[in-house]
């Protein structure tokens, strides 16, 4: 982040002054706010005494500048000043839900995220395959919850937490909290082989999806200009590692894209040379779903043209090559585009908090939490969503790392915070399993709704309705629905852009394909 505490403060103060007075039931009128039209004054070097009231007067805090910084960002109304300060780190599924529940409640909420938007990860594969664009699956956090008078949003990455002092570090500044909720999600892991990451991008954030789309489209562009049939075949091959929902959805969507694009838009390429190979160590696709659904998904993928290589371990990834081994021996796959959807690890703040508090983490780096999602020994710190390992379920099976549990847990934690403030006790958290689903192609999805199995169009309709219901932004909901309908009606994709300067990309990719990457067997270097 290139934002210092000082210029950040000025930006926020500027916004504050440009904003009309807040309306709030308990507004005392003791503070006056600059109107939208008033010229800006220089920042006072010393704040009025009233602005220095700290959030938790019962706990003397040596870091008074910490609270002043918060108050300078958004001086609360008189009545707000004694309200507890809840800091939520992460504006994903869980964090956004917490803010929605706490909005307009008697708490001061600071939402911190390193991105200024909420990302709907389940549709990232549609960005990667050019079906929808970035803005269709992302919603600015300020638009989502910034309007609530008791919620402020700060952009930046939390880099440290000091539990004994109830502080965290953001952009080099220390912030205090009364209650801290960590909802920083998860990232991808290459199981100790980090050198594979640049060769086989994961699909966790928008930039990853952009990069997958860019690599594939650049490979097709280069194939269009290549006379050597072997090299063309190499450029038209994609390997997706990981046959869970994300991998199956990506593979199904990429083969559809390649077949359609090649048939309609590329004159030199042949549809039968397009290959998407889906690889996994597990013997079946969608291994967390019931066997009949796995079998249906596998059959549909193969009908669509996806090659399944299951029960095979990835031993190595080199530029343009994936090496596999299994009971049938070893094999290499040469492919211009390689994607990785195989491993998930919890956000690094989990391990950091574990070091700071001694609380345990599971092998995936997830914080093992108490029944109220607090970390052991620190009732004021909770962890929700993908960063936590919550085993207090029927049967003791941890909550799955999915959007549904993250939203439900976030809502419960927020209601629990409010209940405790009122002196009430909330009923224990109970997870309502809504099932799981994966879309394999146009009009085709598999869904497991608590034992009710749906495939094909019925599955797709349930999948589409569920995703539209979950999308937090109405505008995105409308945009997605219309793009899906357009794609089904015309089989055209509207977001097949290679962004940036094409010559730069060509330069980068030609270097990548020809200089660093060994040529596929029999491939001529002449293009
Ligand atoms: C490709 C893909 C497909 C998926 N498909 C499905 C699906 O179909 N159905 C389903 O239920 N689930 C699906 N999931 C899983 C689902 O998206 C996650 O379980 C869910 O996002 C977890 O929510 P969360 O709130 O814990 O974290 P997230 O939604 O990941 O949000 C975490 C937030 O924390 C922020 N952050 C992280 N570290 C910091 C830091 N240090 N400081 C500040 N901010 C930080 C991030 O910027 C992010 O905004 C999918 C995931 C992926 C990657």
Q: Collapse the DSSP code of 175 into the 3-class scheme (helix H, G, I; strand E, B; otherwise coil) and give the result.
A: strand
Q: Which residue, by CA, sits nearest to atom 39 of ligand 1?
A: 184
Catalytic, out of 249, 307, 355, 370 = 249
Residue range 459-483, pLDDT digits in tens: 999 999 999 999 989 999 999 999 9
Residue 273 Cα to ligand 1 middle (Å): 35
Residue 460 Cα to ligand 1 middle (Å): 23
Residue 350 Cα to ligand 1 middle (Å): 14
Query: Rounded CA gap, 377 and 358, in Å?
Result: 9
Q: Which residue, by CA, sits nearest to atom 35 of ligand 1?
A: 90
How far is C-alpha 272 from the geometric centre of its chain's CA atoms? 34
Q: Terminus-to-terminus CA distance in the chain, angstroms?
A: 42
Query: Rounded CA gap, 247 and 310, in Å?
Result: 13
* pLDDT at residue 55, as a whole number: 38
Residue 485 Cα to ligand 1 middle (Å): 26
Residue 132 Cα to ligand 1 middle (Å): 19
Closest CA to 206 of 276, 146, 118, 278: 118
* pLDDT at residue 303, as a whole number: 97
- Tell me the domains of the chain and their CATH numbers: 194-342+436-516 (3.50.50.100)
Dump the DSSP string for 441-498: ETTEEEEEETTEEEEHHHHHHHHHHHHHHH-S-HHHHHHHHHHHHHHHHH---S----
Residue range 134-178, pLDDT digits in tens: 999 999 999 999 989 899 999 999 999 999 999 999 998 899 999
Counting from 1 in the atom list of ligand 1, the atom nearest the Cα of 125 is 1
Pocket of ligand 1 (CB under 6 A): 89-95, 112-115, 121-122, 124, 157-158, 183-185, 203-204, 245-246, 347, 349, 385-387, 401-404, 406
Counting from 1 in the atom list of ligand 1, the atom nearest the Cα of 438 is 8
* Neighbouring residues of 455: CB distance < 8 A, sequence distance ≥ 6: 293, 296, 444, 445, 446, 447
Q: Is 249 a catalytic residue?
A: yes
What kind and span of H or E run contains 240? strand 237-241
Closest CA to 335 of 414, 395, 287, 275: 275
Counting from 1 in the atom list of ligand 1, the atom nearest the Cα of 96 is 25
Counting from 1 in the atom list of ligand 1, the atom nearest the Cα of 402 is 19
The token pair that represents 238 in the structure block: 């994609």
Distances (CA, A) of 373 to 108, 194, 387, 429: 20, 31, 11, 9
Counting from 1 in the atom list of ligand 1, the atom nearest the Cα of 156 is 43
Residue 253 Cα to ligand 1 middle (Å): 21
Q: Which of 3, 387, 403 to mutate to test the pocket of ligand 1 (most atoms within 8 A of CB)?
A: 403
Residues of the chain with pLDDT under 70: 1-79, 500-527
């Amino acid at each position: 982040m290139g934002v210092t505490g000082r210029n950040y403060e000025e930006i926020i103060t500027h916004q504050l002054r440009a904003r009309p007075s807040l309306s709030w039931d308990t507004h005392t009128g003791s503070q006056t706010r600059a109107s939208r039209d008033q010229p800006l004054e220089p920042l006072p070097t010393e704040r009025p005494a009233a602005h220095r009231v700290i959030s938790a007067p019962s706990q003397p805090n040596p870091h008074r500048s910490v609270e002043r910084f918060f108050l300078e960002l958004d001086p609360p109304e008189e009545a707000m000043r004694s309200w507890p300060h809840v800091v939520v780190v992460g504006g994903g599924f869980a964090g956004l839900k917490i803010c929605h529940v706490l909005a307009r409640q008697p708490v001061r909420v600071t939402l911190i995220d390193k991105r200024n938007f909420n990302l709907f990860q389940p549709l990232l594969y549609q960005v990667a395959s050019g079906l929808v664009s970035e803005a269709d699956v992302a919603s600015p956090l300020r638009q989502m919850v910034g309007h609530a008078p008791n919620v402020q949003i700060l952009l930046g990455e939390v880099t440290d937490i000091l539990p004994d002092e109830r502080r965290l570090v953001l952009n080099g500044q220390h912030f205090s909290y009364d209650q801290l909720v960590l909802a920083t999600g998860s990232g991808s892991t290459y199981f100790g082989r980090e050198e594979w990451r640049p060769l086989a991008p994961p699909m966790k954030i928008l930039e990853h999806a952009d990069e997958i789309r860019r690599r594939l489209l650049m490979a097709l562009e280069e194939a269009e200009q290549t006379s050597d049939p072997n090299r063309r075949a190499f450029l038209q091959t994609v390997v997706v590692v990981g046959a869970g929902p994300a991998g199956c959805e990506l593979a199904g969507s990429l083969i559809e894209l390649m077949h359609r694009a090649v048939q309609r838009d590329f004159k030199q390429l042949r549809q039968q040379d397009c290959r998407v190979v889906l690889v996994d160590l597990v013997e079946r696709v969608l291994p967390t779903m019931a066997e009949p659904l796995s079998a249906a998904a596998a059959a549909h993928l193969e009908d669509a043209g996806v090659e399944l290589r299951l029960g095979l371990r990835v031993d190595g990834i080199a530029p343009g090559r994936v090496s596999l081994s299994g009971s049938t021996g070893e094999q290499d796959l040469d492919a211009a585009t390689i994607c990785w959807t195989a491993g998930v690890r919890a956000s690094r703040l989990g391990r950091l908090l574990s070091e700071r508090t001694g609380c345990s983490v599971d092998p995936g780096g997830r914080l093992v939490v108490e029944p109220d999602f607090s970390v052991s020994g620190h009732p004021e710190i909770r962890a929700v969503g993908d960063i936590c390992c919550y085993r207090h379920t029927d049967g003791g099976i941890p909550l799955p790392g999915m959007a549904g549990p993250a939203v439900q847990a976030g809502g419960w934690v927020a209601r629990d915070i409010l209940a405790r403030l009122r002196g009430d006790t909330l009923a224990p958290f109970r997870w309502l399993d809504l099932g799981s689903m994966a879309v394999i192609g146009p009009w085709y999805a598999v869904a497991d709704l608590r034992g009710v199995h749906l495939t094909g169009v019925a599955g797709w309709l349930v999948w589409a309705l569920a995703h539209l219901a979950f999308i937090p932004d109405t505008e995105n909901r409308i945009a997605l629905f219309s793009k899906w309908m357009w794609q089904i009606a015309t089989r055209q994709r509207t977001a097949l852009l290679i962004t940036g300067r094409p010559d730069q990309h060509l330069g980068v990719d030609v270097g990548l394909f020809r200089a660093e990457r060994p040529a596929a067997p029999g491939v001529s270097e002449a293009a």
